[in-house]
Structure 1
């Protein structure tokens, strides 16, 4: 019987895509032991936006959260998503920070680190991959899937070869917008299997309605595993449902290695959790509808929800269609970067600004300027000449790896924090998200019980 690995995403990408990563540890602690018995290949539970959300909204230590999850997961591998040189933030960090962060992730319980670069510039994942391997973790290199005049099968295969040469243990095709068709998936998985020997995992979203069909063709092409979400947190901008895929794949002759009775218990547990978020308005039904326009705009689910929120905040939700139409134009001007964090947010914000100001590039975001200067890596295609001239003014963009220009930052951060940092992990939290980390440290300090200290003197 053929094998198909299942990665369960409810603790990370599913809740990130549907409820903006607002699920505290207390909401799922009671089901972790059950999940550990389900037979998943891995549980994606960390990385992505979870780190930021823990500090910013949930007032949790993300490292402690990881350790707690690990204490319940004795049989199941834990998995995280890492943005290469961006780690879990939105800009490049120094190599010393990247190495420490990766090593500490593994020391605190992480098993599989899925590592990607938003531009598919493999120079930006090398350090994280090297450190993951050195620390004993499973390094999974990513190809960010996108459609454009310059992205084709040959390019993706060449990226796959680079990932294999780098020493990665497996490869993931990361289709963050759910735009990879069943045919395209079958052809890409097949081409990669013909050219490299790594196990190939496929990640997609149900946004466009293609996800279920795409996964079935991935299985037929010989993919090693797929990402799914327990059914009450599946669909829409999340992943296809775990139970539905397991049921269908079993009929196709695949052993997913999971216990379907436990899958039901896991979903039964999360139904009232989902209902609470729906009642509070955090779970917006809008994210569950099928959006075939994404096949044109290529906007990932998280990016779409961000655009809606931004426009609502500006009382300009009536401009949504104009912003959606402007997004691919901005992307073309920037050389067709894949729309994945942080590029998706950068392109979306610039498209929004262009529409709201009524003039294209009247105001250019600092991140877009950094991108054009080459600080995020090599653009996949050519950047619009007039836009480049407006930003660069005749200067040449950076062609070397931007991280090579960055000074080590860990020791300076440690010195700045002094006694406020109780661990190396605290320093890394601060480097990743300075303001949010300091706010969390303040809350943590305020919650510590007051201990009166007395000096006991011996009376003779």
Structure 2
């Protein structure tokens, strides 16, 4: 049985290691090589990518999708939506979620990954339905956590619910890196039994160093696909390296159809990019048992350290991590994925700084406790719930039903908009953020000509007036410029 690969180099890997700062200019030269490598799918965009493009890189994320589709015509590109927030941070109604997915499909996406931070399948129903209607290959995520309530039976039931929605595959996603080989041996068979012929995908981060071992265990058990990253952007807070898994899978009787030569070319390219841009290479992390208590995703750890440093209290990080673990237990063991991990992190920081627990409660934590984000995995500690919610009553039913459609009103009062893409940027971002974005916007289309590392090199040389003579030789090829 063949083992298929979903590449995360262009999305999750640089989100985890480079704070999502990989530009389209860095992606374009290697895109055609990646397209020919043999991946089942290449994951390209989600909420963090959109945020960084708009707020920090001056790139239109929709333009990135279109350009990369032209450079990667064969391998399906994938797009992520997360529950009731889709690609943003605030809760958005169904009409926004639907237009977001259809617009992504229009811009070249052929795969859709759908998840919800609470594993509330109701929050995924619309996205699955719209994705299937748009002709996309829909992958339903189950986000993994270690807790008394996140049992094998829990995930088995959730997988069955996703299959009833009609997903094409189910992915077990471990953003915190807390899956162990022992748990893999029980959980993967439980999911396979529940899923029948529907493909199972494993997606784990390497924060405890155990993810590659979990992959090998899952491969022996017959998992259908794995999500990996090219080695320079693997390990650490990122995912297992593609080359390592591709090398060992055949030894366990699993055929792999990735082109080894092209993998080496891609690895060499991103090693060069990391050195050129001053970006870190992925490193194997030491095993840290504290990860199993706070379960903070890797990318969030670095941001948390940065925020504490700015506040001059970086020495209190151990207290904040201990507080995160305590809050997780009190709040019913939320899975530490976006956006809930950020909300818990903020609450923990406030508790430590103010010296009084829950003295200040962000509105997002209050909404979570009252069910506005969906069904909780376990009840909240009654004493904490009283402190958070007071006399407010929790909501019931599908949370999205509490949100009124907004697009027609926005079109009527704030339009006209040149396109659905422009409308959606207006929905997800503030006027000031968009003003700054349009003032500094880059034209990504110029990267279409940079299709190989040699092309990039020649363009760089052409701009260096101080270089009078250049010679390149590789095998029988010799190039001289003067």
TM class, shorter-length: over 0.9
- Give the Cα–Cα distance (whole angstroms) in 2 for the partners of residues 348 and 150 of structure 1: 21
Cα distance, 1:175 vs structure 2: 0.6
2:192 is aligned to 193
Q: What is the SS of the residue equivalent to 2:59? A: coil
Cα distance, 1:252 vs structure 2: 1.9
2:424 is aligned to 428
CA-to-aligned-CA distance 1:361-382 (integer Å, 9 cap, x gap): 1111111111112111111111
2:209 is aligned to 209
The answer (yes or no) to whether the contact 1:55–1:61 under 8 Å persists in 2 is: yes
Cα distance, 1:285 vs structure 2: 7.8
Against the structure 1 CA distance between its residues 30 and 237, is the aligned structure 2 distance closer, same or farther, given a 3 Å change threshold? same
The answer (yes or no) to whether the contact 2:117–2:338 under 8 Å persists in 1 is: yes
The answer (yes or no) to whether the contact 1:91–1:376 under 8 Å persists in 2 is: no
1:149 is aligned to 148
1:219 is aligned to 219
Q: What is the SS of the residue equivalent to 1:194? A: helix
The answer (yes or no) to whether the contact 1:87–1:98 under 8 Å persists in 2 is: yes
CA-to-aligned-CA distance 1:363-410 (integer Å, 9 cap, x gap): 111111111121111111111212222233223201122210111111
The answer (yes or no) to whether the contact 1:178–1:205 under 8 Å persists in 2 is: yes
2:410 is aligned to 413
Cα distance, 1:253 vs structure 2: 2.1
1:174 is aligned to 173
- Give the Cα–Cα distance (whole angstroms) in 2 for the partners of residues 437 and 121 of structure 1: 32
Report the TM-score, using the length of structure 2 for normalisation.
0.88
- Give the Cα–Cα distance (whole angstroms) in 2 for the partners of residues 44 and 291 of structure 1: 29
1:126 is aligned to 125
Against the structure 1 CA distance between its residues 284 and 352, is the aligned structure 2 distance closer, same or farther, given a 3 Å change threshold? farther
- The reply to whether residue 353 of structure 1 matches residue 326 of structure 2 is no
Report the TM-score, using the length of structure 1 for normalisation.
0.92
The answer (yes or no) to whether the contact 2:236–2:282 under 8 Å persists in 1 is: no
The answer (yes or no) to whether the contact 1:207–1:292 under 8 Å persists in 2 is: no
Cα distance, 1:288 vs structure 2: 5.3
1:272 is aligned to 272
2:290 to 284, 289, 293: 293
Against the structure 1 CA distance between its residues 70 and 93, is the aligned structure 2 distance closer, same or farther, given a 3 Å change threshold? same
Q: What is the SS of the residue equivalent to 2:316? A: helix
- Give the Cα–Cα distance (whole angstroms) in 2 for the partners of residues 294 and 363 of structure 1: 26
The answer (yes or no) to whether the contact 2:179–2:214 under 8 Å persists in 1 is: yes
Cα distance, 1:202 vs structure 2: 0.5
The answer (yes or no) to whether the contact 2:371–2:394 under 8 Å persists in 1 is: yes
Against the structure 1 CA distance between its residues 285 and 352, is the aligned structure 2 distance closer, same or farther, given a 3 Å change threshold? farther
Q: What is the SS of the residue equivalent to 2:356? A: coil
Cα distance, 1:263 vs structure 2: 0.2
Q: What is the SS of the residue equivalent to 1:114? A: strand
- Give the Cα–Cα distance (whole angstroms) in 1 for the partners of residues 281 and 250 of structure 2: 33
Q: What is the SS of the residue equivalent to 2:109? A: coil
2:301 is aligned to 304
Against the structure 1 CA distance between its residues 285 and 218, is the aligned structure 2 distance closer, same or farther, given a 3 Å change threshold? closer
- Give the Cα–Cα distance (whole angstroms) in 2 for the partners of residues 26 and 273 of structure 1: 10
- Give the Cα–Cα distance (whole angstroms) in 2 for the partners of residues 131 and 5 of structure 1: 25
Cα distance, 1:444 vs structure 2: 4.6
1:395 is aligned to 392
Against the structure 1 CA distance between its residues 296 and 388, is the aligned structure 2 distance closer, same or farther, given a 3 Å change threshold? closer
- Give the Cα–Cα distance (whole angstroms) in 1 for the partners of residues 366 and 396 of structure 2: 15
- The reply to whether residue 365 of structure 1 matches residue 362 of structure 2 is yes
What number of residue pairs does the alignment pair up? 442
- Give the Cα–Cα distance (whole angstroms) in 2 for the partners of residues 318 and 236 of structure 1: 22
Alignment of 1:220-259 (within 5 A): 220-259=220-259
Q: What is the SS of the residue equivalent to 1:174? A: strand
Against the structure 1 CA distance between its residues 302 and 355, is the aligned structure 2 distance closer, same or farther, given a 3 Å change threshold? same
1:339 to 327, 336, 343: 336
- Give the Cα–Cα distance (whole angstroms) in 2 for the partners of residues 52 and 317 of structure 1: 26
* Larger displacement relative to structure 2 (235-244 or 105-114): 105-114
- Give the Cα–Cα distance (whole angstroms) in 2 for the partners of residues 105 and 204 of structure 1: 25
- The reply to whether residue 37 of structure 1 matches residue 24 of structure 2 is no
1:183 is aligned to 182
1:458 is aligned to none
Cα distance, 1:287 vs structure 2: 9.0
Q: What is the SS of the residue equivalent to 2:302? A: helix
* Larger displacement relative to structure 2 (343-352 or 305-314): 305-314
Cα distance, 1:79 vs structure 2: 1.5
Cα distance, 1:3 vs structure 2: 0.8
Uncovered stretches (5+) of structure 1, i.e. residues with no partner: 448-460
- Give the Cα–Cα distance (whole angstroms) in 1 for the partners of residues 177 and 377 of structure 2: 20
Root-mean-square deviation over aligned CA pairs:
1.9
CA-to-aligned-CA distance 1:222-280 (integer Å, 9 cap, x gap): 11101111000111000011111111112222222100000000111111211234x3x
2:15 is aligned to 16
1:439 to 436, 441, 447: 436
- Give the Cα–Cα distance (whole angstroms) in 1 for the partners of residues 403 and 75 of structure 2: 37
Q: What is the SS of the residue equivalent to 2:177? A: coil
1:456 is aligned to none
